[in-house]
A and B are shown apart, each in its own frame.
Chain A
Amino acid sequence: SYVVTQPPSVSVAPGKTARMTCGGDNIGSKTVHWYQQKPPQAPVLVISYDNDRPSTIPERFSGSSSGNMATLTIRRVEAGDEADYYCQVWDSSSDQLMFGGGTKLTVL
């Protein structure tokens, strides 16, 4: 089955850029969504279809995907961005969805 890998944690200082990765075999050819979760709340979609941003999400959030890696980038990080971030991959070969293990973003 398809495996999706995320680093457990990323730390960044306020005002800097955070990059969180989502690895998988040829992930650049698959559909990737990114969710932000501040427990105990439900996840919130921050990036869909690799790099589309819902209208309610700040422009500081962006996504990219190529080869074996998808990346969520948050520019000018704020304290309120501290959360767990999950990538969700749609594997067209199996027509199934799967999540990475999640990355905890800590704002120093």
Chain B
Amino acid sequence: QVRLQQSGPGLVKPSETLSLNCSVSGGSIGSYYWSWIRQSPGKGLEWIGYIYFGGRTNYNPSLKSRVAISVDPSKNRFSLTLHSVTAADTAVYYCVREPTSHDDAYWGQGTLVSVSS
């Protein structure tokens, strides 16, 4: 069974950098789309971006200038970096393995990240 385990701080100061990791177990990190998705309090889901096997990335245009997603195949882990955060970046952040034509989607447990001084 594929399992995604998120780690990272729950509190970040304004103007600083948010960093989260997502460790994958029960399956290889290769040949899938791995996304980060967030949900602000009381709001809907927002796709942040994805990384694909080989390192190809694509980002939400509204966040593209501040975001980077990377992968470390040796650790079966991928990561999110969001620079220059503001209170508007306060949200629950999820890491996700996107569904394929023959397999389900898999979500991490979610991390509430608050941006506050």
Give me the interface of A with B, judged by CB distance under 8 Å: 1, 33, 35, 37, 40, 42-43, 45, 48-49, 52, 54, 56, 84, 86, 88, 94-102
In the bound complex, do residue A102 and residue B99 qualify as a contact, i.e. CB atoms below 8 Å apart?
no
Give the chain A neighbours of B94 by CB distance below 8 A.
42-43
Instruction: Pick from A40, A52, A88, A97 the residue with the most CB of B within 10 Å.
Output: A97
What is the size, in residues, of chain B's interface with A at 8 Å between Cβ atoms?
21
In the bound complex, do residue A45 and residue B58 qualify as a contact, i.e. CB atoms below 8 Å apart?
no
Give the chain A neighbours of B46 by CB distance below 8 A.
99
The number of A-B residue pairs with CB atoms under 8 Å apart is: 53
Residue B70 CB within 8 A of the other chain: no
Least CB distance from A71 to B in Å reads: 19
In the bound complex, do residue A102 and residue B105 qualify as a contact, i.e. CB atoms below 8 Å apart?
no
Give me the interface of B with A, judged by CB distance under 8 Å: 35, 37, 44-47, 50, 58, 60-61, 92, 94, 98-99, 101, 104-105, 107-110
In the bound complex, do residue A102 and residue B45 qualify as a contact, i.e. CB atoms below 8 Å apart?
yes
A99 in contact with B44 given A1-B61, A42-B109 (CB within 8 Å): yes
Q: Beyond A43-B107, A96-B47, A96-B60: 11 further Cβ-contacts under 8 Å?
A: A33-B99, A37-B45, A42-B108, A43-B45, A45-B99, A52-B101, A88-B45, A94-B58, A97-B35, A98-B47, A102-B44
